[in-house]
């Protein structure tokens, strides 16, 4: 990480990256360095890659986003398909 970033800010940026919160990491980097959005985004992307390579165990596990809502949507879509089929075939 860049030497011109205070230690407490460095740790906050790393913690945000480990938590998969790159937006917060970019914001913290911009506040600590005064750099623009593009420069901070590029820095965070590179740092994220480095940290993922060095310490993959520190990243929070990605969660499966398919929950009850997805199951319900699938159920009602299937039910609608069956109803449509029955109304067109059976009459």
CA torsion, ordered 21, 25, 26, 28, to nearest 10 deg: 140
Q: What is the pLDDT of residue 4?
A: 83
Domain boundaries, the chain: 1-60, 63-91
pLDDT by residue (tens digit) across 37-76? 999 999 999 999 999 999 999 987 766 555 677 778 888 8
Higher pLDDT, 14 or 90: 14
Produce one character per residue of 2-27: b if its CB has 16 or more CB atoms within 10 Å, e if not: eeebeeebbebbbebbbeeeeebbbb
Q: How far apart are CA 33 and CA 43, in angstroms?
A: 11
Higher pLDDT, 84 or 53: 53
In this structure, what DSSP letter does residue 27 have?
Answer: H
> Is-contact 21 54, C-beta < 8 A?
no
Q: What is the pLDDT of residue 2?
A: 58
């Amino acid at each position: 990480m860049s030497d011109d970033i205070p230690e407490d800010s460095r740790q906050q940026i790393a913690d945000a990256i480990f938590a998969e919160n790159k937006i917060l990491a970019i914001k913290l980097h911009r506040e600590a360095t005064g750099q623009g959005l593009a420069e901070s985004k590029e820095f965070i992307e590179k740092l994220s890659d480095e940290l993922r390579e060095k310490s993959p165990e520190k990243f929070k596990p990605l969660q499966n986003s398919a929950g009850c809502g997805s199951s319900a949507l699938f159920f009602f879509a299937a039910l609608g398909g069956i109803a449509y089929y029955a109304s067109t075939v059976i009459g």
